[in-house]
Amino acid sequence: MGSTVVIVSVDTEEDNWRSVRTGVSVENIRELPRLQAHCDRLGVPVSYFTTYQVVSTPWAAEILRGLAQTGRAEVAAHVHPWNTPPLDEPLTPQNTMMKNLPQAVQRAKLATLTRSIEEAVGVRPTSFRAGRFGLGRETTQVLIEQGYRVDSSVTPWISWAETDGGADFTGAPLSAYTLDGTTDPREPAPGGPLLEIPLTCGYSRWPFSVWHEVYTTLWRLWPRRLGPAGLASRLGVVHPIILSPEVSTPGDMLRLTRHLVAHDVPNISAYFHSSSLRPGLTPWMRTNADVERLYRVLSEFVDGLGRFTTPIFTTLSGAARLLATPP
């Protein structure tokens, strides 16, 4: 039985699910010590992709600093462009996607967050995820300029193009690959200095390329949930899966991972939002029971991996060293 590099990351962000600049709160960050203790028991280090609003709140930054000092967590960067200074651009849906902003604005916002994390936590971040997965070619250029070594914004087989002009990651590799700032983020640039470790997304059946075409065609023809695509999902014929305990069952998460392991993908990456650790803040976690379900799903997923692979749990930075450290 071979081994698989396994990453668990948390988009560590505001309580506010909508993109706002006022009335921002970060109370969900108080739940991170419980989460870290749970992951410590599972033997899973955590990468915390952290926004400016979190790290600029002193008590929240103190929590993150304490987690980083344990050596079992990484504090990474997560730009929410709508409330990361400078805030000279209007707040519009399109502007919540970092890729849609002028490169100079992207550069300034990333510099603000990078500096803020370094000052508040004591460690300069080298891993990044774009808010709303809004990664573009110019974004990768800015990341390289500012010394970032790892990105984890790509969601293979998911397109956000119809969501406020987001990125289309259809057909992106499932394995880690390198970028050099000259290509579309889903197109590898061999030897590039930025390692892309995609989030793990796919379908309940292999090959994903075939079933993606089937599923998206059904949705285009019958977009309602009770149409053929919804029926295919309910009957278990085929359905999309994201490796996230927020929205997936342990069975689906393990099924997706089995496909990747069987086809020699060396890395899997699961994620969820810190705001899901408190009920009522995200669409999926409305009650305390929902939150407890998230913890249970995460545990069952981690425990089940050993049935078909030897998991190597690590942070994004650790994964970069194991998979393909850029030159």
Whether 74 and 102 map to the same domain: the answer is yes
CATH of the domain at 42: 3.20.20.370
**Whole-Å CA distances, 60 to 31, 34, 64, 186, 224:** 10, 14, 7, 34, 41
- Per the structure block, which two tokens stand in for 283? 């669409």
Range of the domain at 132: 3-200+243-323
Q: Indicate the number of domains in the chain.
A: 2
Whether 8 and 145 map to the same domain: the answer is yes
CA atoms within 13 A on the CB side of 223: 1
Whether 233 and 96 map to the same domain: the answer is no
Whether 55 and 178 map to the same domain: the answer is yes
Whether 58 and 194 map to the same domain: the answer is yes
Name residues whose C-beta falls within 8 Å of residue 68's C-beta, 6 or more positions apart in sequence: 74, 75, 121, 122, 123
Distance CA 277, CA 32 (A): 8
Whether 92 and 225 map to the same domain: the answer is no
Whether 219 and 86 map to the same domain: the answer is no
Last residue of some domain: 238, 256, 284? 238
Whether 132 and 223 map to the same domain: the answer is no
Kindly report the pTM of this predicted structure. Answer: 0.94
Q: Which of 263, 270, 244 is nearest to 309 (CA)?
A: 263
Whether 98 and 216 map to the same domain: the answer is no
Whether 76 and 209 map to the same domain: the answer is no
Digitized pLDDT (tens) for each residue of the chain, 327 residues in all: 799 999 999 999 999 999 999 999 999 999 999 999 999 999 999 999 999 999 999 999 999 999 999 999 999 999 999 999 999 999 999 999 999 999 999 999 999 999 999 999 999 999 999 999 999 999 999 999 999 999 999 999 999 999 999 999 999 999 999 999 999 999 999 999 999 999 999 999 888 888 678 777 765 655 554 444 343 344 455 689 999 999 999 999 999 999 999 999 999 999 999 999 999 999 999 999 999 999 999 999 999 999 999 999 999 999 999 997 433
Whether 232 and 248 map to the same domain: the answer is no
Q: What is the β-pairing status of strands 240-242 and 201-203?
A: antiparallel
Q: Which of 110, 176, 201 is nearest to 317 (CA)?
A: 176
Whether 112 and 169 map to the same domain: the answer is yes
